[in-house]
Amino acid sequence: MELIIGSHVSFTASTQLLGSVEEALSYNANTFMFYTGSTQSIQRSNINDELTYKAYELMVKNNINNNNVIVHAPYIINLANKSDENKYNFYINFFSQELDRCKQLGMNKIVLHPGSATTCTKEEAIQNIANALNIVFTKTENTVVLLEFMAGKGNEVGTSIDELKSIIDLINNKDRIGVCLDTCHMNDSYVDISHFDEFLDEFDSKIGIDKIKCVHINDSMNERGSHKDRHANIGYGTIGFDNLINVVYNDRLKGIPFILETPYVNRNSKDAWAPYKYEIESIRNKKFIDFIQ
């Protein structure tokens, strides 16, 4: 089975999915992840079906299967707090619209940060998130929501196997819920990535390995358990190249998409550039490439 690997790419108002596919191809990726607009805001432009059609022509020509393409929900959606009903309902409706946009784009998986419990306990947050998703699932069709494993920054929910399990247990339609692992987040939460198989054993016994539908493959700038969430380039962080290679090539995760969310090189300057072509090549060849001089 061929390795499915790509990175997050941009999706702009003018080129939309066609631009995303072109960017992914420039990295020699065979999948990609995108936000349907800004990561931080709820501004969304209308989807241009003609651009979508052209994007699919290009995907088919290059063997990119839409089942491997991932959408990411904007960060601002927070389904954890119910103290402000208007806000809670707004997020439910906005997330439902995002799922409709996925459907219009032919995409069937969307990654969601479960939420941050700012005005309630984690136990209440878990109830609120599951309740919100149950409503979203009655308002929409098909799209599967992948809860991301979080680093545990602030009051984030979904920072352990047990927390993710508590949410999933409360979901009525289990076919529409899955998990997206993130190696940086796992490391920053508590997981020792050098013992990844032990993590998978526990995940399998509590949730089931078939629920893992995507992995964000990032190194981390911080030590295990730091609860920081700062991504590093592959082989340039505390997890290290070999440990990340062992995640990507783990037999139990065969066939699922691996997505890089690593930082641009020189990211705070006008010379910032995306390293994904090199990172993808290094992962495919299992050989570290030192692209940062």
Identity of the residue numbered 137: F
Candidates 34-42, 43-51, 155-163, 211-219; binding stretch for Fe ion (CB under 5 A): 211-219
Please identify, using beta-carbon distances, which residue of 124 and 261 lies nearer to Fe ion. 261
> From residue 136 to residue 155, what is the string marking binding to Fe ion with x (rule CB under 5 A)?
------------x-------
Quick check: 182 binds Fe ion (CB under 5 A)? Answer: yes
Query: CA 81 to CA 277: how far, in whole Å?
Result: 39
Count the residues of the shown chain that bind Fe ion, applying the rule CB under 5 A.
4
- Min separation Cβ 229 and Zn ion, Å: 4
Residue entry with tokens 């066939």: 255
98's contact among Zn ion, Fe ion, none, with CB below 5 to 8 A by partner kind, is none
- Which among 76-84, 126-134, 224-232, 250-258 is the span making contact with Zn ion, rule CB under 5 A? 224-232
List the structure tokens of 207.
Answer: 């949730």
Closest among 137, 117, 141, 118 to 127, alpha carbons compared: 117
End-to-end CA distance of the chain: 34
Which residue's CB is nearer to Fe ion, number 17 or number 260?
A: 260
Per CB under 5 A, 219 contacts Zn ion: no
**Residue closer to Zn ion, measured from CB, 23 or 229:** 229
Q: Select the span of 103-111, 220-228, 229-237, 280-288 touching Zn ion (CB under 5 A).
A: 229-237
Work out whether 229 is an interface residue with Fe ion (CB under 5 A): no
Burial bucket for residue 270 (CB in 10 Å: 0-12, 13-18, 19+): exposed
109 versus 216: smaller Cβ distance to Fe ion: 216
231: helix, strand or coil: strand
| Partner in contact with 229, chosen from Fe ion, Zn ion, none, beta carbon below 5 to 8 Å by kind | Zn ion
Residues paired with residue 181 on neighbouring β-strands, in sequence order: 215
Phi, then psi, of 85 in degrees rounded to 5:
-60, -40
Which residue, 143 or 262, has its beta carbon nearer to Zn ion?
Answer: 262
- Identity of the amino acid at 18: L
Continuous segment of H or E residues that includes residue 157: strand 156-157
DSSP state of 265: B
d(CA 72, CA 33): 7
229 near Zn ion, rule: CB under 5 A:
yes
Residues that bind Fe ion (CB under 5 A): 148, 182, 216, 261
Residues that bind Zn ion (CB under 5 A): 229
